């Protein structure tokens, strides 16, 4: 009887501890279940939903952005340069006036120009309509005839009239044909095997092996020019970088590991000399970026990939991408159940509104000068950034570390020092989207040609993508630009100074190469 009171507290404590352990296990399982449900909804949206981040549930956010723009217009009327905003009107865009035009006039025969009343009809106006007509590609054969000269008196030998240096010696590929093949693959994403069938329809027998050799030899000819662009890129003060995967079959590695295509480009709002360069590397190690950008001093805008941290120094300041931070919250919104998405006061919706305000200001500042953009960012954007930081600090402890909203908040806080660096320079973009747009042509092409056979081919692809996209960045027609390079570069011979290539830089050829329409 006396032992009962002594054992009861021990049993109660044991039961309480067991209940707490079970409750902890239940909480952990509930968090894991919530995580799996979020991932399922997110993967389901990625598989079947719209790829755009502008989902219908966020219409209020974009309506709010419109109201902010209207308010900003009213506030900034004292600026010397004001930004006009006009809503796009629906309708078909007019056809280009630069196209060759053939006028076909339809008139009534003389015998029918009589009214029923017997009087002659007169012209009372015209109805005009336009129609596009296409002329298929045409191929012609250029026969080079070098006249030979000799002296009958001394018979000292035969002299041949010189022929201009060709891009590929002893080949029937002209500069225009090579430029056509390169642009078709590296801009229009047309694989060489498809080009082979197209040439067959034109009665030209060109195997993909021949086309591949021509592409490689063209890249070898253009390699010094790529190196010169690299030297000039390092001298700029604002750059952007990004990377994407690439499959190289024969890269010497036993395992089928992914390779990477890196992108580096001019990154300022007002880049006088836009340059876009791709580089192939077997891995995603940050040492590759550090090696490519060796000697660079300025701001480098990148996403949150930790590999770029190897470049961070007093000379190289990393700038974050606000679009990547916003994307995390957009994913958190898409991972919610449909009923929760309609909640206007949810954490993901609240965070997205804060990002929308920042982007509304950037849209308003788009056409301002660097100094005006800097001053207005300090006045308008800095308070919004402080508010976003405070909101993340307040909610970081209220969210699970592995939940989508928790990851979004922690990503933003971890990247905060680099995310807000853009407001310190009016020439820096708010995000890295420009680099993502430049790498998109490669991603689209990868879906068609799937892989590179060798590292040599991957390096050639990087070089030719670079020249095509650099031409586009400078508003030059890539075909005309490459044709000009492949025609003029062989004339320099084998030995020349790098500065001799400056005459072929895209910004120096505005009057010689057709602009991109």
List strand residue ranges (DSSP E) for 122-220, in order. 148-150, 158-160
- The tens digit of pLDDT for each residue in 91-150 reads 778 787 778 899 999 999 988 889 888 889 888 889 988 888 888 888 899 999 999 999
Residue with tokens 């049993």: 11
Mean pLDDT computed over every residue of the chain: 86
Q: Where along the chain do its domains lie?
A: 165-229+453-508, 322-431
Could you tell me the two tokens for 512?
A: 């010689």
Q: Classify residue 28 as exposed, middle or buried by CB count within 10 Å of its CB (0-12, 13-18, 19+).
A: exposed
Other Cβ atoms less than 10 A from the Cβ of 7: the count is 9
Q: Is the pTM of this model over 0.85?
A: no
- The tens digit of pLDDT for each residue in 262-315 reads 999 999 998 889 999 999 999 999 999 999 999 999 999 999 899 999 899 999
- The tens digit of pLDDT for each residue in 188-199 reads 999 999 999 999
Residue 27's pLDDT is 72
Main-chain dihedrals φ then ψ at residue 401, nearest 5 degrees: -60, -35
Q: Classify residue 20 as exposed, middle or buried by CB count within 10 Å of its CB (0-12, 13-18, 19+).
A: exposed
- The tens digit of pLDDT for each residue in 390-404 reads 999 999 998 888 889
State yes or no: pLDDT of 481 exceeds 90: yes
Other Cβ atoms less than 10 A from the Cβ of 202: the count is 12
Helices (H) and strands (E) in the chain, counts: 16, 7
């Amino acid at each position: 009887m006396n032992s009962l009171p002594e054992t009861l507290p021990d049993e109660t404590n044991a039961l309480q501890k067991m209940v707490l352990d079970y409750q902890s296990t239940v909480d952990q399982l509930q968090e894991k279940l919530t995580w799996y449900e979020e991932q399922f909804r997110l993967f389901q949206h990625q598989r079947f939903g719209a790829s755009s981040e502008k989902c219908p549930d966020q219409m209020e956010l974009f309506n709010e952005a419109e109201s902010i723009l209207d308010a900003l217009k009213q506030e900034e009327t004292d600026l010397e340069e004001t930004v006009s905003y006009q809503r796009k009107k629906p309708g078909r865009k007019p056809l280009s006036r630069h196209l060759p035009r053939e006028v076909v006039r339809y008139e009534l025969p003389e015998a029918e120009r009589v009214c029923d009343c017997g009087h002659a009809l007169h012209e009372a106006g015209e109805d005009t309509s336009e129609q596009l007509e296409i002329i298929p590609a045409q191929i012609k054969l250029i026969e080079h005839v070098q006249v030979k000269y000799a002296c009958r008196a001394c018979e000292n030998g035969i002299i041949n009239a010189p022929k201009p240096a060709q891009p590929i010696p002893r080949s029937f590929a002209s500069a225009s044909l090579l430029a056509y093949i390169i642009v078709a693959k590296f801009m229009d994403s047309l694989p060489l095997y498809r080009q082979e069938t197209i040439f067959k329809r034109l009665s030209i027998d060109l195997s993909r092996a021949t086309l591949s050799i021509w592409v490689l030899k063209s890249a070898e000819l253009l390699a010094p020019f790529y190196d010169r662009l690299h030297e000039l890129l390092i001298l700029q003060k604002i750059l952007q970088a990004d990377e994407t995967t690439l499959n190289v079959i024969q890269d010497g590695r036993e395992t089928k590991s992914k390779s990477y295509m890196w992108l580096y480009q001019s990154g300022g709002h007002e880049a006088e000399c836009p340059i876009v360069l791709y580089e192939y590397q077997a891995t995603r190690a940050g040492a590759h970026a550090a090696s490519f950008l060796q000697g660079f001093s300025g701001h480098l805008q990148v996403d949150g990939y930790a590999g770029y941290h190897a470049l961070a120094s007093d000379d190289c300041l990393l700038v974050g991408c606000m679009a990547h931070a916003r994307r995390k919250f957009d994913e958190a919104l898409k991972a919610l159940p449909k009923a929760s998405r309609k909640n206007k006061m949810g954490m993901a919706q609240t965070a997205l509104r804060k990002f929308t305000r920042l982007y509304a200001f950037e849209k308003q500042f788009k056409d301002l000068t660097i100094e005006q953009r800097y001053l207005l960012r300090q006045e308008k954007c800095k308070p919004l950034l402080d508010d976003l930081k405070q909101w993340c600090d307040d909610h970081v402890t209220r969210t699970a570390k592995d939940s989508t909203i928790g990851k979004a908040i922690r990503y933003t806080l971890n990247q905060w020092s680099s995310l807000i660096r853009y407001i310190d320079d009016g020439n820096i973009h708010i995000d890295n989207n420009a680099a993502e747009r430049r790498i998109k042509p490669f991603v689209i092409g990868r879906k068609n040609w799937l892989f590179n056979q060798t590292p040599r081919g991957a390096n050639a692809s990087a070089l030719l993508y670079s020249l095509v996209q650099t031409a586009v960045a400078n508003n030059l027609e890539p075909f005309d630009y490459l044709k000009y390079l492949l025609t003029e570069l062989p004339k320099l011979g084998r030995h020349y100074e790098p500065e001799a290539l400056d005459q072929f830089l895209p910004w120096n050829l505005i009057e010689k190469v057709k602009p991109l329409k």
